[in-house]
Amino acid sequence: MTTKKTGVLLVNLGSPTKPTTAAVRRFLKEFLWDPRVVNLPRPLWWLILNFFVLPTRPRRSFLAYRKVWDEKGSPLIYLTRQLREKVAARLAAQGIGVRDAMRYGEPTIAEQLRAFKEEGVDSLVILPLYPQYSSTTTASVFDAVADELKQWRHIPKIRFISDYYGDPGYIAAVAKSIEHNWHLRGRQQLLLMSFHGLPEVLSKWGDPYFEHCRQTAASIAKQLALQEHEWRMVFQSRFGKAEWLKPYCLDTLQALPGQGIKTVDMVCPGFAVDCLETLEEIAIANKEEFIKAGGSAYHYIPALNDSDAHADVIINLLEQKLG
C-alpha cells in the first residue's frame, strides 16, 4: 500500500536575487508584466513598461533595496525561508513536507511543485502569505499553481487557503507583537495600521481586499481595546496616477503633526515578513517625512517574521485545512 504524502507550499511575493540594477530590472519585468498586477491592455502596457518604466524605475528601486539588503540577502527571501524551516520542523513528525516559493523570482512555484511531485506527494496545501485576499496577489498565486498543474497527468488533491485576515490566531499574534513593542519602547499617541495600496477601481470590480483590510484593522484594535481616536488604517506604496485606496499613508503622516499628533507607532498587518515596503518605505522614508512635517517620535513595529508566534499561526491555519 502506498503511503499518502502531503506537501505544504508557502508562497510569498518575491524579490530580486541581488541588489543590482540588472537584477531589479529582471524582477520588475516579471512582476509588472503579470496581468493580475497591471490591468491595462497588453500592447499599451508593453510600450509603457519597456519604454518608460523599465528604463528608469530599476535604478530608483535598486537604491532602495541597498538600504534593506544585509549579509543574509533579501529580508523577504530569508525571513520566509526561516519561517518555513520552523513550520517544517514541527510538521515533519506527521510526514508533512513544507517548501517555500516566490510568485516572482526564485524559488519558483513551478519548481517547488515539481519537487513535491518527485517526492511522491499526492496532497497539496497552498498557502499564499497574504492575510488579506487580493486579485493582484492571492489570485496570481492561484494562476501560477494552475499553470503548472495543468501540465500534469495526475492532479493531486489541492487545498488553497485564500485568506486569513480574520483568523483569531493571526489577530492575536499581531496584537501581542504590538503590546510587546509598547512594553519595550512605550506607546505613542496614535497607532497607524498600514496596508499595501491597490487601485481603487479593483474594489468596484469585486476585489474584497479593502474590506478584508478594514476587518483586520478593526479586529486588532478591538483586541488591543483601542478607542476610535487611538488608531487609523492607511494604505501605502501608491504607484502611477490612478486613484488608489485611501487614506494614503504618506499624506496622513504629513498631516498628523498639524493635528497635534506628533508621535506614532506604525505596523503593517498585511505583510507576513518584513520587506522593501516595510523596511525602506515605512521604517525609513515615511519616518523621515513625518519628522520633517513636525513629528517627534516614530516607531515601526516589525512584522511577525520568523517568530515562534508566526509559526503557530501558520500551523494552526494548516491544521484547519488538514483536519
Q: How many domains, the chain? A: 2
> Does one domain contain both 113 and 219?
no
Using one digit for the tens of pLDDT, what is the confidence trace for 107-129? 999 999 999 999 999 999 999 99
Are 130 and 267 found together in one domain?
no
156-182 average pLDDT score: 98
- If asked whether residues 151 and 172 sit together in one domain, one would say no
CA nearest neighbour of 291 among 247, 241, 320, 253: 253
Q: Which residues of 228-261 are buried (b: 16+ CB within 10 A; e: fewer)?
A: eeebbbbbbbbeeeeebbeebbbebbbebbeeeb
DSSP tally for the chain: helices H, then strands E: 13, 8
Q: What three-state secondary structure class fits 235?
A: strand
- Assess if residue 125 is contained within a domain: yes
pLDDT above 70 covers a percentage of the chain that reads 99
Q: Are residues 159 and 92 in the same domain?
A: yes
- For residue 160, the domain's CATH number is 3.40.50.1400
Q: Is 177 in the same domain as 207?
A: yes
Percent of the chain scoring above 90 in pLDDT = 96
pLDDT tens track for 273-291: 999 999 999 999 999 999 9
Are 132 and 179 members of one domain? no
Domain shared by 317 and 276, yes or no: no
241 or 271, which is more confident?
271
The secondary structure of 49-76, three-state, reads HHHHHCCCHHHHHHHHHHHHCECCECHH
- Give Cα separations from 224 to 130, 172, 266 (angstroms): 22, 9, 15
Q: Across all residues in the chain, what is the average pLDDT? A: 96
Average of per-residue pLDDT across 85-92: 97
Report d(CA 58, CA 39) in Å as an integer. Answer: 21
Q: Do 67 and 194 have their domain in common?
A: no
Same structural domain, 138 and 224: no
Q: How does strand 263-267 pair with strand 297-301?
A: parallel
In a domain, 96, yes or no: yes
Together in a domain, 173 and 238: yes
d(CA 131, CA 165) in angstroms, rounded, equals 5
Q: What is the chain's alpha carbon radius of gyration, rounded to the nearest angstrom?
A: 20
Query: Does the structure show a pLDDT above 90 at 90?
Result: yes
Residue range of the domain that includes 191: 168-301
The dihedral sign for the CA sequence 133, 12, 147, 94:
negative
pLDDT digits (tens, 9 = 90+) for 219-239: 999 999 999 999 999 999 998
DSSP state of 156: P
Q: What is the pTM of this model?
A: 0.96
* Whether residue 54 sits in one domain with residue 105: yes
Whether residue 47 is found in the same domain as residue 64: yes
| Per-residue DSSP letter, 129 | S
* Residue 283 included in any domain: yes
Please, which residues have CB within 8 angstroms of residue 166's CB and are 6 or more apart in sequence?
212, 215, 216, 219
Q: Does residue 230 fall inside a structural domain?
A: yes
In a domain, 30, yes or no: yes
Report yes or no on 1 lying in a domain. no
pLDDT in tens, 50-87: 999 999 999 999 999 999 999 999 999 999 999 999 99
